[in-house]
Homo-oligomer: A and B are copies of this chain.
């Protein structure tokens, strides 16, 4: 089977930086490449775009293949097209990033741990292709969005405590926050409500649990 064109065509892929919070750290899903090029090296999950599917559909498909998850936040990041970014042929990659709540993680990523794994963003190995650049840009974008949107809640589980939420903010933006001011700021957004439950988690006062009002909405604030 061969496909012929009257002028040269590049290949087009999607690559996805999939983030979650695990063990109090921001982590990204990486895959160990089974085929050359860069065989044995870690890379962002991705693959070729089908001729009949949209870019977002391709991204969803890859995301689901790797994580089993579907209802998560997915956003187009940037398109990388340096002529030599893939040694095989000209490959243009449309990069996406996804945010997955910690409690939606499926076993998939853990099951065959040899070739799929979560990596804390301050312990990223060498990456294949230009995936380091993609990851860096994704982190920049997400961190920036924390400051002017309610994107952070896309990383939170069904119920969560205020200190947990604050921790996510601090991990992502790398700046410590005053907990009283943080609490006021979050509550004034009107996107979360207390569940009435509490989380008892050790030798200290229990924390009140909150829940997101509308999981599918990401507001632009200010």
**Residues on A close to B: CB < 8 A?**
1-12, 48-49, 51-55, 76, 78-79, 81-83, 90, 92, 94
A74 to B94, CA, bound (A): 19
A110 to B21, CA, bound (A): 55
Partner of A2, one of B6, B53, B54: B6
Query: Are B12 and A7 in contact, with the CB atoms below 8 A?
Result: no
Residues of B near A2 (CB, < 8 A) are 4-6
Residues of B near A11 (CB, < 8 A) are 5, 9
Residues of B near A9 (CB, < 8 A) are 3, 5, 9-12
Partner of A3, one of B8, B12, B94: B8
Query: Are B6 and A4 in contact, with the CB atoms below 8 A?
Result: no
Query: Are B52 and A81 in contact, with the CB atoms below 8 A?
Result: no
A3 to B9, CA, bound (A): 8
Residues of B near A94 (CB, < 8 A) are 79, 81, 92
Partner of A10, one of B1, B8, B12, B82: B12
Query: Are A48 and B7 in contact, with the CB atoms below 8 A?
Result: yes
Q: List 25 A-B contacts (CB under 8 A).
A: A1-B6, A1-B7, A2-B5, A3-B4, A3-B5, A3-B9, A4-B4, A4-B5, A5-B5, A5-B9, A7-B48, A9-B9, A9-B11, A10-B12, A12-B12, A51-B83, A51-B90, A52-B83, A53-B83, A54-B81, A54-B83, A55-B81, A55-B92, A79-B79, A92-B92
Partner of A7, one of B3, B6, B54, B55: B3
* CB of A141, distance to nearest CB on chain B (Å): 13
* CB of A6, distance to nearest CB on chain B (Å): 6
A54 to B4, CA, bound (A): 23
